[in-house]
Amino acid sequence: MKSTSPRYIKQYAVGIIDYSSQYGGENPRSFSYSVSNIIGEPKIFPKYGDFTQAAVMRTYGPWWNRCLTPKYKKDTRPRSSSFQSQDYIDVIFDKAVFPWSIAIYETYNPGAIVRILALCQEFPKQNTPSYENNNDGVDPDICGKAIPLPLVEKYTHWEVLWSNPNPQFQTTKEARMFAPILQEINHRSRIIRLEFCHTHLDYYTELDAVELTGTLTYTSSSPVDPPSRPMSSLSIHDSPNSSSENLAYSESKADFQNQDSEIIGINEGTIVVTKNYNDVLPNGYFIFLPPEIMSKIFSYLPFPDFCRAACVCKLFHAYSYDPSQLASVDLHSYWHIVNNNTLHSIQSRCSPSAIKGTIRSLSLKWLGGGDIVTPDQLNNFIKSCDFRALTFLDLASSPSLTDALLGSLVKYTSGLSHLDIQSCDKATSEGIRILHKLTKLQSLNLYRTKVDDAGLICIIHSNPSLLNLNIGSCTHIRDYDRVLVELSEHSHNLRALDTWRAKSLTSLGLKALASQCKHLEELDFGWCGGLQSSTGCFQHLAKSCPHLRKLFLTTNRTVSDVEVNMFAQHLTKLRQFDILGTRLVTPQSVERLLNQCNDLEFLDVSFCYSFTLDIVKALRQTYPHVEIKRSFQD
């Protein structure tokens, strides 16, 4: 007799598909603080503390958002959710199941997780044979490892399993197994995305493992299945068999092709129509408002609502297609529900035939996760819109960024002053080299990309106005000294430079940079082990760059009291200072720094041997305006 109760399968992550950042190095053989540490069973739990065997991301706390690098105006339109995810990790499991529980083992500073999503694939019931020999009546291959990569677009979409709109700082300092109540979904999945927000955290969050529990057959816990949110929920486009005034809202399966019908509203996913617009809204109440007021009202709509408003009435349609409303577009929060139809909707609002260069700021951050938006689709979008006025473009962690797309960017967005393509690993070194055709860049983020020495030097030569450059964890750069020498010769106005984990960087490059770039405000030399204080490079930096406000020398074992005293004497504007892992610095020199730098707000002395817990507590009491960090292992 066949069992009626579902069989639950418990499994741990077997691999990492993608991630936005990590504290560890990019060398596959390096495991310290690597995101790959999240694979497999818990290794640290239930211990609490800072362990190298954990998965750790790059940032934490609010300090990273207080940096003084050039700011660019982003979308002022409110978001649908109150939080903005900053990082993500995509983990893959052995078998595709209907998710019932997801447990995340947090072993240090828990509370960063703000959203959990599943990449789903619908298996058509008519094509699914019956397998009587299987207790669950389902083909084990379909249930197990049948989701291919790249994924079949027709049957894939993301489902939000859980979200926390108000993340809170966890006051309890202990490890926890976090298993929130999940939203039911009628889809199998073996790829889970964890999204993180770090601004409320006191220090780095660390993860040990992820456990997925699910069933091979779907069993609803309620008589009504939860609604599924299609990937096309943002799509509003012209119906091919209707006039331009009659819109087809793709979230509904109804097909409104009657020329006499007018869409006037949406109720629980159902489109309401009438034969005559004036019968429903006689004279209309909104038509009495001045256009300026209507435009202001529409500017307060989150982007999905702004698009959907076009289905309400002719008046709303006109304002929803007003190009001036699209001066700044930020799709980062909606990456999981953006597909090609969404891009087509934006394209119809800002194509060259509709308006001349309206969009000035565009964020497509994380767009295309799970191959929902293909590189060809995004490339066609870039080619079809008028981006002559575009100055800000964020494509961070977008798997849709390829060499072909970079070629289109330099052709159709030649006015860019800010470009972020961090953690885009599909673009090759040769593909990134084409960015030298952009000549107005002021800010460029190449973190974790395949940019090489030759390509980066060409970009530096072509952009003398460069102010902000992130080339951290770029493993294809062989000679960071040469890069910094080129920066010193061509980028005299440079304000911020991030060379996180630049192993080839030595005092030669630092001295050249400090000698010529006198306006530097932010420097991150974290894990740059080639910088030796015995060469006098840090003292030279202190004397040459008095405007420094952020200086990270993470794990530089050679920094001593001599350098810290020099910083205290010359870098009086310092606000953020990180000497994590420094063994030669004593509390006396740090206290002098605290007295001299009145603007200091952040200081990290974790794993500095002289800084005991009692000493750090005393410093915190004496300098309450400074966030003094001291990590530990239990």
- The pLDDT-based confidence of 477 (bands split at 50, 70, 90) is very high
- The pLDDT-based confidence of 221 (bands split at 50, 70, 90) is low
Contacts for 351 with CB less than 8 Å, ≥ 6 apart: 384, 385, 386
- Taking the CB of residue 51, how many other CB atoms lie within 10 A of it? 19
| Predicted local distance difference test score (pLDDT) of residue 355 | 54
Q: Is 628 helix (H, G, I), strand (E, B) or coil?
A: strand
Q: Which residues pair with 103 in a beta bridge?
A: 211
Instruction: For residues 139 and 216, give the distance between their C-alpha atoms in angstroms, rounded to a whole number.
Output: 10
Instruction: Tell me which of 199 and 264 has the higher pLDDT.
Output: 199
pLDDT in tens, 254-307: 333 333 444 333 333 333 334 444 444 444 678 888 889 999 999 999 888 888
Domain 8-215: which topology? Jelly Rolls (2.60.120)
Question: What's 22's DSSP letter?
Answer: -
Instruction: For residues 542 and 141, give the distance between their C-alpha atoms in angstroms, rounded to a whole number.
Output: 62
Instruction: For residues 587 and 577, give the distance between their C-alpha atoms in angstroms, rounded to a whole number.
Output: 14
| Predicted local distance difference test score (pLDDT) of residue 590 | 98
Instruction: For residues 431 and 395, give the distance between their C-alpha atoms in angstroms, rounded to a whole number.
Output: 15
> Which of the four CATH numbers 3.10.450.50, 3.40.50.300, 3.80.10.10, 2.40.160.150 does domain 496-634 have?
3.80.10.10
Q: What are phi and psi of 161, to 5 degrees?
A: -90, -30
Is domain 326-338+348-478 classified as CATH 3.30.413.10? Answer: no
pLDDT-wise least confident of 39-43, 201-205, 222-226, 535-539: 222-226
Residue 343 pLDDT > 70? yes
Q: What are the percentages of helix, strand and coil residues in the chain, rounded to 5?
A: 30, 20, 50
Torsion region of 181: left, alpha or beta (phi above 0 gives left; psi -120 to 50 gives alpha): beta
Question: What is the b/e burial string over 73-99, where b = at least 16 CB atoms within 10 angstroms of the residue's CB?
Answer: ebbebeeebebebbbbbbbbbebbbbb
pLDDT in tens, 438-476: 999 999 999 999 999 999 999 999 999 999 999 999 999
Instruction: For residues 252 and 509, give the distance between their C-alpha atoms in angstroms, rounded to a whole number.
Output: 60
Task: Write the burial class of residue 442 (CB in 10 Å: 0-12 exposed, 13-18 middle, 19+ buried).
Answer: buried
Decide if 326-338+348-478 and 496-634 have a common fold: yes
Query: Could you state, in order of their start, the residue ranges of all structural domains in the chain?
Result: 8-215, 236-315, 326-338+348-478, 496-634
| Predicted local distance difference test score (pLDDT) of residue 173 | 86
- The pLDDT-based confidence of 247 (bands split at 50, 70, 90) is very low
Closest CA to 146 of 182, 117, 120, 183: 120
| Predicted local distance difference test score (pLDDT) of residue 81 | 64
Instruction: For residues 400 and 420, give the distance between their C-alpha atoms in angstroms, rounded to a whole number.
Output: 14
pLDDT in tens, 385-441: 889 899 999 999 999 999 999 999 999 999 999 999 999 999 999 999 999 999 999
- The pLDDT-based confidence of 165 (bands split at 50, 70, 90) is confident
| Predicted local distance difference test score (pLDDT) of residue 161 | 97
| Predicted local distance difference test score (pLDDT) of residue 370 | 87
